[in-house]
Amino acid sequence: MINVALPKGRLGNKVFDIFAKAGYDCQEMRESSRQLIFTSEKNNISYFLVKPSDVSIYVEHGAADIGIAGKDILLEYEPDVYELLDLNIGKCKMCVAGKTDFKDNPDVTLRVATKFVNIANTYYKNLNREIEIIKLNGSIELAPILNLSDVIVDIVETGTTLKENNLGVLTEILPISARLIANKASYKFKTDEINTIVERFREELQND
């Protein structure tokens, strides 16, 4: 049996599509709204639906053998897992954003609001820019509007959230997409089963 941690929410349906196209039945997951564990006896797979930012925790600790996590989460938390495949879905960009007329004054500490403390710290450290991090958990776009911060470091997918709040991208930091990850011990002991999934996904990606 392979245990798979999948992200709930935005990525959900795209992830189910990938499994379905690769021949892994997951219709039941599309239909249910609150159930968190689904087992396909036919495919010998159990799926757990978890918060996107928690996928790598389940996989790192071996509660799941494999999972699908955004590159943003992998860069932010640096879990000790194998990254097996770029799935080319959930594409977005990690950006610095703020008021469109924002002008950076290098003589003062830059106040940066973000969920991605590690990514923001690394980015500004490489630029030798002194910053103060303001850690938020959501609705990051409010921070520059309310003058809680000068800029934000956040994910931009369609750009709608920024636009509807009169903000804009100031700098693109990194492209992000969803990755198939594996627990290191699971990969050692279930190599064939996991590689079968990787190969089916790879073929599917080539055919797309």
Quote the least distance from Cβ 152 to ligand PRP, whole Å. 9
Nearer to ligand PRP, 87 or 92 (CB): 92
Find the binder of ligand PRP among 155, 173, 182, 197 (CB under 6 A). 155
Tell me if 6 sits within 8 A of 59, measured CB to CB. no
Find the binder of ligand PRP among 69, 113, 156, 197 (CB under 6 A). 156
Question: Could you give the CA distance from residue 190 to residue 56 in angstroms, rounded to a whole number?
Answer: 18
In 3D, which of 54, 22, 17 has the Cα closest to residue 2?
Answer: 22
Question: Alpha helices, DSSP H only, in 71-141?
Answer: 71-77, 117-126
Strands 167-176 and 66-70: unpaired
Nearer to ligand PRP, 108 or 146 (CB): 146
Maximum Cα interatomic distance, the chain, rounded to a whole number of Å: 63
Find the binder of ligand PRP among 8, 117, 159, 171 (CB under 6 A). 159
Verify binding: residue 130, ligand PRP, rule CB under 6 A.
no
Binding residues (CB under 6 A) for ligand PRP: these are 138-141, 154-161
